[in-house]
């Protein structure tokens, strides 16, 4: 006998009355990020990495606490090593975020987290619509999610162009900027990285961050509900959950 949907049809229909307001809010939040000021693009980049790493860290912690099978001593040690690695990585992210003006960081961080939460809610609403066979609503939400993703990418591209323009300015002016990073190849406009001059340690940390996934041994286990639920933690909530303070 098939299980009943987790969300009732009445609840779904109530959410459908306001989902367009949530979508409009997401667009406004990304517009706010785009106007946050110098360094906003780099802050978004770091928060993107945090969003990826918090899922991976949750998965590792859950694999250690609730293994799908009996783990060998070597497997437990490997997972514990990964957890420590992710903790160190998140501390590096915090150090990098501290380099940016507080008002820019705070504006971007708050808008980014709220936008991500709203998008997650819209994704869940679409899934609920599919479960209750509300096909037209599911299609409308899918189309809106695609449009919102395009809008967010346009903001990201605009932030990259802002950095490019600052690099094209007079070198003496460039020294006064709060951040001046190199631009990645055109096919990856989101990745903005600092040049090494005077920032050797930060550059090394960035390169380590880029290569960390390939440098780690792989431990195989399925994704579970706990990892999925904690993928929605915001940056501040994630730090509290994993005992980083903040």
The answer to whether residue 246 sits within a structural domain is no
Range of the domain at 203: 9-238
pLDDT given for residue 66 in this prediction = 86
pLDDT more than 90, % of the chain = 41
pLDDT in tens, 180-227: 343 333 333 334 434 333 344 444 444 454 454 334 333 333 344 334
pLDDT in tens, 146-179: 999 999 999 999 998 877 776 666 555 444 444 4
pLDDT given for residue 117 in this prediction = 94
Question: How far is 134 from 16, CA to CA, in rounded Å?
Answer: 10
Number of domains in the chain: 1
The answer to whether residue 216 sits within a structural domain is yes
Q: Which range, of 91-105, 132-146, 227-241, averages the lowest pLDDT?
A: 227-241
* Token pair in block for residue 122: 């819209």
183 phi/psi in degrees, rounded to 5: -105, 140
Burial class (CB in 10 A: 0-12, 13-18, 19+), 221: middle
* Token pair in block for residue 225: 């509900």
The rounded mean pLDDT for the chain is 75
Question: How far is 57 from 81, CA to CA, in rounded Å?
Answer: 11
The answer to whether residue 4 sits within a structural domain is no
Looking at the chain, list the stretches that DSSP marks H as alpha helix, in order from N- to C-terminal side. Answer: 9-16, 19-34, 40-65, 73-97, 102-131, 135-168, 171-176, 200-215, 225-230, 235-241
The answer to whether residue 96 sits within a structural domain is yes
Q: If pLDDT is split at 50, 70 and 90, which confidence band does 94 have?
A: confident
CB of 112 closer than 8 Å to CB of 44: yes
The answer to whether residue 221 sits within a structural domain is yes
Nearest to 190 by CA among 44, 38, 24: 44
CB of 222 closer than 8 Å to CB of 66: no
pLDDT given for residue 115 in this prediction = 96
Q: State the DSSP code for 72.
A: P
* Token pair in block for residue 128: 């609920």
The answer to whether residue 125 sits within a structural domain is yes
Which whole number is the average pLDDT over 133-144? 96
The answer to whether residue 172 sits within a structural domain is yes
The alpha carbons of the chain give a radius of gyration, in whole angstroms, of 20
The answer to whether residue 17 sits within a structural domain is yes
């Amino acid at each position: 006998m098939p299980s009943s949907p987790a969300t009732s049809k009445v609840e779904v229909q109530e959410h459908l009355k306001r989902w367009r307001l949530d979508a409009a809010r997401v667009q406004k939040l990304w517009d706010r990020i785009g106007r946050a000021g110098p360094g906003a693009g780099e802050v978004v980049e770091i928060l993107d990495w945090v969003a990826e790493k918090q899922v991976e860290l949750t998965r590792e912690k859950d694999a250690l606490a609730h293994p799908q099978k009996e783990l060998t001593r070597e497997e437990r040690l490997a997972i514990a090593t990964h957890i420590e690695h992710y903790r160190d990585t998140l501390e590096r992210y915090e150090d990098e975020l501290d380099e940016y003006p507080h008002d820019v960081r705070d504006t971007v961080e708050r808008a980014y987290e709220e936008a991500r939460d709203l998008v997650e809610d819209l994704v869940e609403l679409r899934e609920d619509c599919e479960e209750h066979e509300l096909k037209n609503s599911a299609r409308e939400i899918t189309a809106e999610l695609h449009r919102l993703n395009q809008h967010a990418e346009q903001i990201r591209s605009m932030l990259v162009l802002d950095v490019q323009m600052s690099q094209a300015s007079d070198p003496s002016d460039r020294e006064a900027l709060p951040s001046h990073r190199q631009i990645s190849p055109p096919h990856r406009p989101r990745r903005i990285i600092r040049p090494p001059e005077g920032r050797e340690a930060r550059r090394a940390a960035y390169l380590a961050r880029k290569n960390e996934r390939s440098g780690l041994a792989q431990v195989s286990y399925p994704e579970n509900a706990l990892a999925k639920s904690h993928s929605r933690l915001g940056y501040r909530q994630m730090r509290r959950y994993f005992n980083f303070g903040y």
